[in-house]
């Protein structure tokens, strides 16, 4: 099975994240880390490979620093990587990004594409659905469980009430959600980290993937940020120590705010 | 006045509150038309949508729409965008709503904005980003503005609309039938409101321990939804779909009660736009206090039972 897993490098959420004042895009100069849900995508890709054979290719779009995310995925066990990197891609919105990635995916070829269900920076949660739309293949998103039998694939899609069982025929686009142990992403072993250094990372630009420059970057954006401001600070709250009446005090507060 | 399409969120024919919020907001921008996708449309649904201002109701109630994931709804909306040229499309910013919005944007070559909490004149949307730390105003630059709004962004206000029905037949493409929903497994046994929609959320963290019944009791006394930190879902004390935070759900309720939660930045990313935040934590230095409007420093196992008693007494 030809498995492609899309990973993204994002600003570390433990640091202060910023927008750039020159063009209102996300400041990516700060500490970058692999988006956490992408690690789940890599894990699920490796599990599929282990169960059904095949190869796992990492695909990432982003500036040169994004190689850190690629190395992590390779160290976990992915076989090779394609890094789509081009100045022209800077400032791409969800529509452009889905377009550029879909072009790269067409070039790479795939039976299944796996993504994290959302990134911690933009958090739109749309990319997998948009890729399915662009590629004209089934969308199997928010998966907490994936099963493949021949060319049939089925997932458990996480919902507010439990899950939906969804089936399709390969090729397909899958996005995955966070899961508890024992389904957490594996840690790269020392051997894995060493091996990753020798695994091929193919760098491609927009011409290689036949990406139309008019459809990408800040200039092509379908939506634009007009302005941004830090959220107003919350007012100082009232804190009481429990001296046996903490619950009563809390109830009084809720009454004063008309919640009771 | 310009027509605004509002995609109705419903489960088994029951309209979700966020739809009424979207209709309320749409009235301030133009003339709302509700779009019903999937089976379950009834006179009760019609009455409810009209009550909140739907001038038109497009009804596409074939089973096909619900039996396939996301794509049919985007196709339905795209055909309406094509034939009616609305000024904008409003969708709930739920996981599924955002997916519909994304596919619709591609189909109609339009810009899309997710997680908006407000839309002003000229379809300028307000979005909290980076877990609520920054407020962004954005605008769609091409096509029909497609805006996904978070539940609880506005208070629904009833104002009667004509509610003129119009049947819509969509011939779904093969591509839209790619992912078949073969079973819906309802694990939720409680009658609690849904986490992302609830006006009040009571969340518990590691400080609660494995027995979550005290959190459930408080939630029930307030008619609230139950949430949890990742420490809790990781330990298997409560299912992952109740996790609030960066890799869980984003909630913006009127009231968020955080009990035994330290307030790590990844947790705050999912709840700090709540209107009022109440904290119960035995550590007066925990980071959660930075965003508390009110709080009790103490043992939640003592404070919460008393709080529940007081609430029950006052009802
Ligand atoms: C990439 C990434 C993504 C993450 N995503 C999420 C996410 O989506 N959601 C999330 O919640 N976390 C997330 N986390 C984890 C987050 O960093 C914290 O580890 C987690 O939120 C801690 O949960 P907690 O507050 O319940 O536990 P702790 O941090 O252990 O806090 C427990 C609190 O309970 C208090 N307490 C203990 N006993 C009592 C008592 N008897 N009475 C009153 N108070 C008591 C303690 O004082 C303490 O403040 C993420 C982390 C990473 C790295």
Give the tens place of pLDDT for each residue, B98-124. Answer: 999 999 999 999 999 999 999 999 999
Measure the CA dihedral B201/B204/B205/B206, to 10°: -170
pLDDT at A232 (0 to 100): 84
pTM of the complete model? 0.93
pLDDT at B26 (0 to 100): 98
* pLDDT band for position A125 (cuts 50, 70, 90): very high
Cα B277 to middle of ligand 1, angstroms: 16
CB B186 to CB A162 under 8 A?
yes
Burial call A194-220: b when 16+ CB within 10 Å, e when fewer: eebeebeeeebebeebebeeeebbbeb
CB A222 to CB B200 under 8 A?
no
Which of residues 67 through 86 in chain A touch B, CB cutoff 8 A? none
* pLDDT band for position A236 (cuts 50, 70, 90): confident
pLDDT at B184 (0 to 100): 94
Mean pLDDT of B246-263: 95
Residues 6+ apart with CB under 8 A from A74: A58, A80, A81, A195, A196, A199, A201
Q: Is B37 exposed, middle or buried (0-12, 13-18, 19+ CB in 10 A)?
A: buried
* pLDDT band for position A28 (cuts 50, 70, 90): confident
Q: Is the pLDDT of residue B126 over 90?
A: yes
As a whole number of angstroms, the distance between CA A10 and CA A6 comes to 13
Phi and psi of A39, rounded to 5°?
Answer: -65, -35
pLDDT at A144 (0 to 100): 95
pLDDT at A160 (0 to 100): 85
Mean pLDDT of A26-55: 91
Q: Which two tokens stand for residue B31?
A: 């003339």
Asked whether the beta carbons of B291 and B269 are under 8 A apart, the reply is no
Q: Give the whole-number percent of chain B exceeding pLDDT 70.
A: 99
Give the tens place of pLDDT for each residue, A157-184. Answer: 999 888 999 999 999 999 999 988 888 9
Phi and psi of A14, rounded to 5°?
Answer: -80, -10
Quote the minimal CA–CA distance from A122 to chain B in Å. 8
pLDDT at B188 (0 to 100): 67
Q: What is the mean pLDDT of chain A?
A: 94
Which of residues 19 through 48 in chain B touch A, CB cutoff 8 A? none
- Ordered by where they begin, the domains of chain B are 3-177 (3.40.50.620), 200-314 (3.40.50.1220)
Which residue, chain included where needed, has tokens 């007066």?
B284
Q: Is the pLDDT of residue B189 over 70?
A: no
Put simply, whether A233 touches B (Cβ < 8 Å) is no
Nearest CB to B240; choose among A16, A134, A180: A180
As a whole number of angstroms, the distance between CA A105 and CA B194 comes to 37
Q: Which of B279, B308, B300, B302 is nearest to B221 (CA)?
A: B308
CB pairs under 8 A between A and B: 290
Give the tens place of pLDDT for each residue, A184-224. Answer: 999 999 999 999 999 999 999 999 999 999 999 999 999 99
Residues 6+ apart with CB under 8 A from B44: B13
CB B105 to CB A251 under 8 A?
no
Q: What is the mean pLDDT of chain B?
A: 95
In this structure, the number of other CB atoms found within 10 A of the CB of residue B306 comes to: 20
Asked whether the beta carbons of A60 and A66 are under 8 A apart, the reply is yes
CB B178 to CB A251 under 8 A?
no
Quote the minimal CA–CA distance from A40 to chain B in Å. 11
Quote the minimal CA–CA distance from A84 to chain B in Å. 21
Listed range (A193-207, B83-97, B184-198) with the worst mean pLDDT: B184-198
As a whole number of angstroms, the distance between CA A72 and CA A38 comes to 10
Give the tens place of pLDDT for each residue, B144-176. Answer: 999 999 999 999 999 999 999 999 998 899 999
Put simply, whether B209 touches A (Cβ < 8 Å) is no
* pLDDT band for position A150 (cuts 50, 70, 90): very high
* pLDDT band for position B39 (cuts 50, 70, 90): very high
Nearest CB to A166; choose among B69, B135, B250: B69
Q: Which residues of chain B does A224 touch, with a Cβ-Cβ cutoff of 8 Å?
A: 138-139, 141
Residue, of A241 and B190, whose pLDDT is higher: A241
* pLDDT band for position A12 (cuts 50, 70, 90): confident
CB B179 to CB A235 under 8 A?
no
CB A117 to CB B95 under 8 A?
yes
pLDDT at A111 (0 to 100): 98
In this structure, the number of other CB atoms found within 10 A of the CB of residue A175 comes to: 31
Mean pLDDT of A46-51: 96
Asked if the peptide bond before residue A192 counts as cis, ω within 30 degrees of 0, the response is no
Q: How many residues does chain A have?
A: 260
Q: Is the pLDDT of residue A138 over 90?
A: yes
* pLDDT band for position A229 (cuts 50, 70, 90): very high
Q: Which residues of chain A does B106 touch, with a Cβ-Cβ cutoff of 8 Å?
A: 95, 98, 130, 133-134
Put simply, whether B162 touches A (Cβ < 8 Å) is no
Which of A103, A246, A255, A258 is the mutation pick for testing B, counting most B CBs within 10 A? A246
Q: Which two tokens stand for residue A24?
A: 């209102």
Asked whether the beta carbons of B135 and A228 are under 8 A apart, the reply is yes
Nearest CB to A166; choose among B128, B180, B240: B180
Asked whether the beta carbons of A41 and A59 are under 8 A apart, the reply is no
> Looking at ligand 1, which residue's alpha carbon is closest to its atom 50?
B266
- What CATH number does domain A2-232 carry, 1.10.10.10, 3.40.1160.10, 3.40.50.620, 3.30.70.360? 3.40.50.620
Q: Which two tokens stand for residue B54?
A: 């739907």
| First-to-final CA distance of chain B | 45
In which region does residue B55 sit, left (phi positive, over 0), alpha (psi from -120 to 50) or beta (all else)? Answer: alpha
Quote the minimal CA–CA distance from B228 to chain A in Å. 14
> Looking at ligand 1, which residue's alpha carbon is closest to its atom 49?
B262
* pLDDT band for position A39 (cuts 50, 70, 90): very high
3-state secondary structure of B39: coil
Which residues line ligand 1 at a C-beta cut-off of 6 Å? A 36; B 205-207, 229-232, 243-248, 260-262, 264, 266-267, 270, 280-283, 286, 299-301
> Looking at ligand 1, which residue's alpha carbon is closest to its atom 38?
B207
Put simply, whether A251 touches B (Cβ < 8 Å) is yes
Q: What is the ipTM of this complex?
A: 0.94
Domain ranges of chain A: 2-232
Burial call A143-152: b when 16+ CB within 10 Å, e when fewer: bbbbebeeee
Q: Give the whole-number percent of chain B exceeding pLDDT 90.
A: 92
């Amino acid at each position: 099975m030809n498995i492609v897993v899309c990973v993204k490098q994002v600003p570390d959420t433990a640091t202060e994240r910023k927008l750039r004042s020159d063009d209102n895009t996300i400041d990516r100069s700060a500490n970058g880390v692999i988006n956490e849900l992408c690690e789940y995508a890599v894990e699920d890709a490796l599990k599929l490979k282990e169960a059904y054979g095949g190869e796992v290719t990492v695909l990432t779009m982003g500036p040169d620093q994004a190689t850190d995310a690629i190395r992590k995925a390779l160290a976990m066990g992915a076989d090779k990587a394609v890094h789509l990197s081009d100045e022209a891609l800077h400032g791409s919105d969800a529509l452009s990004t889905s377009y550029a990635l879909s072009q790269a995916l067409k070039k790479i070829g795939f039976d299944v594409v796996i993504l994290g269900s959302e990134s911690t920076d933009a958090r739109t949660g749309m990319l997998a659905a948009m890729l399915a739309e662009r590629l004209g293949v089934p969308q199997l998103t928010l998966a907490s469980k994936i099963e493949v039998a021949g060319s049939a694939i089925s997932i458990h899609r996480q919902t507010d009430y439990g899950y939906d069982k969804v089936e399709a025929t390969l090729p397909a686009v899958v996005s995955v959600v966070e899961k508890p142990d024992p389904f957490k992403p594996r840690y790269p072993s020392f051997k894995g980290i060493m091996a990753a250094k020798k695994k091929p990372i193919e760098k491609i630009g927009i011409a290689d993937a036949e990406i139309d420059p008019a459809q990408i970057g800040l200039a092509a954006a379908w939506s634009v940020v007009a302005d941004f401001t830090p959220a107003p600070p919350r007012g100082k709250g009232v804190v009481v120590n429990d001296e046996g009446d903490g619950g009563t005090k809390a109830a009084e507060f809720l009454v004063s705010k008309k919640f009771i | 006045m310009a027509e605004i399409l509002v995609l109705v969120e419903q489960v088994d024919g029951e309209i979700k509150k966020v739809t009424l919020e979207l209709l309320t907001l749409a009235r301030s921008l133009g003339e709302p038309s509700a779009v019903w996708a999937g089976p379950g449309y009834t006179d009760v649904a019609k009455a409810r949508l009209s009550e909140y201002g739907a001038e038109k109701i497009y009804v596409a109630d074939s089973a096909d729409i619900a039996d396939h994931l996301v794509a049919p709804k985007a196709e339905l909306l795209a055909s309406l965008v094509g034939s009616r040229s609305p000024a904008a499309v409003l969708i709930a910013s739920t996981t599924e709503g955002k997916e519909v919005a994304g596919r619709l944007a591609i189909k109609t070559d339009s810009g899309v904005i997710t997680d908006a909490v407000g839309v002003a004149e000229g379809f300028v949307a307000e979005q909290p980003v980076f877990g609520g730390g920054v407020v962004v105003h954005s605008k769609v630059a091409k096509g029909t503005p497609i805006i996904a709004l978070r539940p609880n962004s506005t208070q629904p206000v009833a104002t009667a609309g004509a509610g003129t029905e119009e049947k819509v037949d969509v011939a779904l493409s093969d591509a839209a039938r790619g992912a078949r929903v073969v079973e819906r497994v309802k694990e939720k046994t409680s009658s609690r409101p849904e986490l992302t929609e609830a006006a009040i959320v009571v969340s518990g963290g590691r400080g609660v321990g494995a027995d979550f019944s005290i959190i459930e009791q408080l939630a029930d006394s307030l008619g609230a939804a139950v949430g949890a930190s990742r420490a809790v879902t990781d330990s298997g004390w409560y299912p992952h779909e109740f996790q609030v935070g960066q890799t869980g759900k984003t909630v913006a309720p009127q009231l968020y009660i955080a009990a035994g939660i330290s307030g790590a930045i990844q947790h705050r990313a999912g709840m700090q736009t709540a209107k009022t935040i109440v904290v119960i934590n035995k550590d007066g230095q925990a980071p959660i206090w930075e965003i508390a409007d009110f709080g009790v420093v103490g043992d939640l196992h003592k404070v919460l039972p008393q709080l529940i008693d007081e609430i029950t007494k006052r009802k």
